[in-house]
Structure 1
Amino acid sequence: MPRIISPLALALIGIILFGDGAYIHAKAWLAQVLLERAFDQSVATGEVVRPWSWADRPVARIEVRRIGARAIVLEGASGQALAFGPGHIRQTADAGERGVAVYAAHRDTHFRFLRNVAIGDLIDVTRSDGKHFRFRADSSAVVRFDASGIDPAARAAELVLATCWPFDAVASGPERYILHATLIGTDE
Structure 2
Amino acid sequence: MDRRSSWRRRLHLLERIALAMAVVLGGVWATARGLAWASERRSIAAFHEAARASVVAPRTGAGPPTVEVDQSLWDRGRIRAYARALTRPAPPPLALLRIPRLGLEVPVLDGTDEWTLDRAVGHIEGTSRPDQAGNVGIAGHRDSFFRVLKDITEGDVIELALPGEVRRFRVQQLSIVKPNEAHVLAPTRSARLTLVTCYPFYFVGSAPRRFIVQATPE
With the length of structure 2 as denominator, give the TM-score of the two structures.
0.60
Matched position secondary structure for 1:87: strand
> More deviation in 103-112 or 144-153?
144-153
1:171 aligns with 2:171: no
Which position in structure 1 is the counterpart of 2:76? 22
Distance 1:123 1:90, change over 3 A: same
Q: Greater RCO between the two (CA within 8 Å, min separation 6)?
A: 1
Distance 2:204 2:91 in 1: 27
Distance 1:83 1:107, change over 3 A: same
Which position in structure 2 is the counterpart of 1:150? 184
1:117 is aligned, of 135, 152, 155, to 152
Identity of aligned residues (%): 32
Point out where structure 1 has 5 or more consecutive residues left out of the alignment: 1-20, 35-50
Which position in structure 1 is the counterpart of 2:121? 86
Matched position secondary structure for 1:97: coil
* Cα-to-partner distance string for 1:92-140 (whole Å, 9 max, x where unaligned): 112252211000011000101111111000001112x332100000001
Is 2:127–2:185's contact at 8 Å kept on the other side of the alignment? no
Is 1:120–1:137's contact at 8 Å kept on the other side of the alignment? yes
1:141 aligns with 2:195: no
Is 1:96–1:157's contact at 8 Å kept on the other side of the alignment? no
Matched position secondary structure for 1:71: strand
Distance 1:154 1:101 in 2: 9
Distance 1:107 1:163 in 2: 6
Distance 1:80 1:30 in 2: 9
1:97 is aligned, of 132, 141, 157, to 132
- State which structure, 1 or 2, has the greater radius of gyration over its C-alpha atoms: 2
Point out where structure 2 has 5 or more consecutive residues left out of the alignment: 1-74
Which position in structure 1 is the counterpart of 2:164? 130
Give the aligned residue type for 2:147.
R
